[in-house]
Copies of this chain bind each other. A is one copy, B any other.
Amino acid sequence: MYFETFNQFKQQLRQLDSWFEKAEAYAKEKSFSPDLYLGFRLAPDQFGFARQVQIACDTAKLGASRLTGKEAPSHADTEKTLAELSERVKSTLAYLDTFTAQDFAGTAERVITQPRWEGKVMSGADFFLQHVVPNFFFHVSAAYSILRHNGVPVGKRDYLGPLNQHLP
């Protein structure tokens, strides 16, 4: 289910990208610069909107990379405008588009580590379920909450996107 979950991450990132248009329209209506969103936050000691989007992107990008061993493109975290942030999302989507189900063969048993873990490791299965999935949705939801709190008219449908519902 790794590949299918990353497909869902792609859907969430496409939805996130669609919020930028609503945010820009709301900024225009209220006569403020849309680039101000990048610094908005819900608490003084919490990451602002730009960082939430960057981490959501990197959680998906580095998650896929570490779970498969496939090299990830680097991003400098220098976005200053809403347009640049949208490019960041699109670049992450383009990277995720390169994966196939085969890339995730053996992922569950892979040994994952990160510099900050001080030599400790996690299995691919644990890393995915305990770290990648919760963090990805956390930062996408935080970005959503920051926009919602600041008046942007996003709703649950904008978060979920289309569901694969059909007549029986």
Contacts and interface: CB of A to CB of B under 8 A. Distances in A.
Contacts of A5: 129, 133
A167 B120 contact: yes
Number of copies of this protein chain within its complex: 2
A4 interface: yes
Contacts of A168: 111, 113, 119-121
Interface residues of A, number: 44
A155 to B, nearest CB: 9
B119 A46 contact: no
A32 interface: no
15 contacts: A7-B129, A8-B133, A43-B149, A117-B165, A120-B166, A121-B167, A121-B168, A122-B166, A126-B163, A134-B160, A135-B160, A137-B137, A137-B138, A137-B141, A142-B145
5 nearest A-B residue pairs (beta carbon): A137-B137, A141-B141, A120-B165, A1-B1, A126-B164
